[in-house]
Chain A
Amino acid sequence: QVQLVESGGGLVKPGGSLRLSCAASGFSFSDYYMSWIRQAPGKGLEWISYISSSSVDTKYADSVKGRFTISRNNAKYSLSLQMNSLRAEDTAVYYCARGGAETLPTDFWGQGTVVTVSS
């Protein structure tokens, strides 16, 4: 069955960096766009980035552009999110998700990893 397992979350100070990873299984990873979506505590959902199946195309929300970088390794069935210059407002549960681009629905989500940015 489809599985997405995130890791790498934790507590980091403002201005710090963190790298999130997502291990995929149960589907042909290289056939799918992949995304990161986050949810601040008690808040709604915010799309933050996607990467095309071959890594040719990446897109970011304005709130993270220039600070976050999405990447993937199709051979290892893995997705990553490098987060730099972290701010308190980046505190959230970060979900790895399959799909999620223009005209492509987000059809499966991982369980999420918690990122807390605090001094």
Chain B
Amino acid sequence: DIQMTQSPSSLSASVGDRVTITCQASQAIGNYLSWYQQKPGKAPKLLIYDASDSASNLEIGVPSRFSGSGSGTDFTFTISSLQPEDVATYYCQQYDNLPLTFGGGTKVEIK
């Protein structure tokens, strides 16, 4: 199985701060990586697929302050200017090989 190591597991930042989350795959997965936002008591919501935030890969309606990059084994998710409504847990997921696997999540809070 492909292990997805996500870090940090939690972070606290101020409104307007730049926030970065990383996800490392235990083997190369090309660009088959997505990022999800999960608010408490809610279902995960897809933000980015195929690893990057190019115009075709940022899910419709997702604010442009969310971005993604990377390929192979190392991936990054960035919130360029943290907003109060971004408080959530963020997960990465690889969909290159079965079983599809998720990172452990990053809980983002406002300082």
Interface residues of A (CB under 8 A from B): 44-47, 59, 61-62, 95, 100-112
Most chain B C-beta atoms within 10 Å of own C-beta, residue among A45, A95, A106, A107 = A45
Please tell me if B99 contacts chain A, counting CB pairs below 8 Å: yes
Interface residues of B (CB under 8 A from A): 32, 34, 42-46, 49-50, 59, 91, 93, 95-105
Given A44-B105, A45-B93, also A105-B46 (CB < 8 A): yes
A62 to B101, CA, bound (A): 12
Chain B binding surface, main DSSP class: loop
**Which residues of the partner chain B approach A100 to less than 8 Å between Cβ atoms?**
95, 100
Evaluate contact between A105 and B95: CB separation under 8 angstroms. yes
Evaluate contact between B95 and A45: CB separation under 8 angstroms. no
Closest A residue to B35 by beta carbon equals A105
Given A47-B101, A100-B100, also A112-B43 (CB < 8 A): yes
Evaluate contact between B99 and A62: CB separation under 8 angstroms. yes
A104 to B98, CA, bound (A): 11
List 26 contacting pairs A-B, 8 Å CB cutoff, sorted by A: A44-B105, A45-B44, A45-B105, A47-B99, A47-B100, A47-B101, A59-B98, A95-B43, A95-B44, A101-B100, A102-B95, A102-B97, A103-B95, A104-B95, A105-B32, A105-B95, A106-B46, A106-B95, A106-B100, A107-B49, A107-B59, A108-B46, A109-B43, A109-B44, A111-B43, A112-B43
A111 touches which one: B42, B46, B101 (CB < 8 A)? B42
**Which residues of the partner chain A approach B43 to less than 8 Å between Cβ atoms?**
95, 109-112
